[in-house]
Amino acid sequence: MFYKPYGVLCQFTDPKSNETKRPTLKDYISIPSVYPVGRLDIDSEGLLLLTNNGHLQHRLAHRKFAHPRTYWVQVEGIPDEQALQRLREGIALKDYHTRKAKVRLLLKEPPLPPRNPPIRYRKSVPTCWLKMTLTEGRNRQVRRMTAAVGFPTLRLVRIAIGVNRHDSTQQLRLDSLQPGQWRDLNPEERRMLKVLLQK
């Protein structure tokens, strides 16, 4: 389990390595023969699971299995209930219609470390945080969804990956990890994944 920082490529090599060097997973993780379960964009942060088990990678990452992914999302502006409901019902984007999502406005800023570099604030435009849980992980989906309802995403942090779509307690959670840190899964987390692979 790795807390991917902002600006880090979600892969071990940079295809544009002959240009400006960009940090990759190799700069943080020295374990051989592991690869990420799903992806986080270079400008997104948070929980990334790495494994050498191809079946597990497929089971957790493929959208057909509908494993929930939970994010804290800082947006520009304050969405009203109508905008929140549109996100919950699913958004018609250019190339597909998103699934229903769980979305709620957070009453206070979540306990996250500062981003490096920080987001650009505009004094005249307020920001707020949403908690969003999706059951698919398409390319830049959260950003496209919030932009479609008029509230662009400023910061995006994945905080949990659900192991069982019907049991919200069955989650891998970011918890106390800090950006750039990783740890092995604990016995209970390993047990959850073992049960998942037996289904």
Length of the chain: 199
Average pLDDT over residues 169-187: 93
Lowest mean per-residue pLDDT among 58-67, 75-84, 94-103: 58-67
pLDDT above 80: residue 65: yes
CA torsion, ordered 185, 187, 190, 196, to nearest 10 deg: -150
Confidence grade of residue 122 (pLDDT, cut at 50, 70, 90):
confident
Q: What's CA 153's distance to the chain center, in Å?
A: 13
3-class SS string, the chain: CEEECCCCCCCCCCCCCCCCCCCCHHHCCCCCCCEECCCCCCCCEEEECEECCHHHHHHHHCHHHCCCEEEEEEEECCCCHHHHHHHHHCCECCCCECCCCEEEECCCCCCCCCCCCCCCCCCCCCEEEEEEEECCCCCCHHHHHHHHCCCCEEEEEEEEEECCCCCCCCEEECCCCCCCCECCCCHHHHHHHHHHHCC
Domain extent listing, the chain: 2-176
pLDDT above 70: residue 17: no
> Is position 41 annotated as part of the catalytic site?
yes
Percent of the chain with pLDDT over 90: 68
41, 43, 175, 184: which one is catalytic? 41
Q: What's CA 97's distance to the chain center, in Å?
A: 19
Asked whether the whole model's pTM tops 0.75, one would answer yes
Shortest CA distance to 194 belongs to which of 86, 59, 94? 59
CATH fold group of domain 2-176: Alpha-Beta Plaits (3.30.70)
Average pLDDT over residues 136-142: 89
